[in-house]
Amino acid sequence: MFPIVLAAVSAVAFGTADFSGGKASRRADPVAVTVVSQLLSVPLLLALVLVVPGTPRPVDLAWGLFPAWPAPPEWCCSTGP
């Protein structure tokens, strides 16, 4: 049951962020909206780092530093058969 709740909360969070970002970028410069949204996410990230238990291994940090880079274009953009 927990994975379903987690997926639902994640979907609501991403949907809300996309909607809010889209509305804000119509009124303000999209680059400014992106910078502000990233800066506002830092306190949330820091709070979660302090609350969530566990210690990352070096391989975990490596995956975080290089997420799918360099990824071939066919991994993200399907151009057909």
Q: Where do the domains of the chain lie? A: 2-55
- pTM listed for this prediction: 0.54
Question: What is the b/e burial string over 54-76, where b = at least 16 CB atoms within 10 angstroms of the residue's CB?
Answer: eeeeeeeeeeeeeeeeeeeeeee
What residue spans of the chain are helical by DSSP H? Answer: 2-27, 30-51, 58-65, 73-76
- Name residue 56's amino acid: P
- How do residues 43-58 score in pLDDT, each as one tens digit? 988 898 889 888 889 9
Q: What is the mean pLDDT of residues 64-69?
A: 70
Q: How far is the CA of 69 from the CAs of 59, 62, 75, 77, in angstroms?
A: 15, 11, 11, 15
DSSP 67: T
Q: What is the pLDDT of residue 67?
A: 62
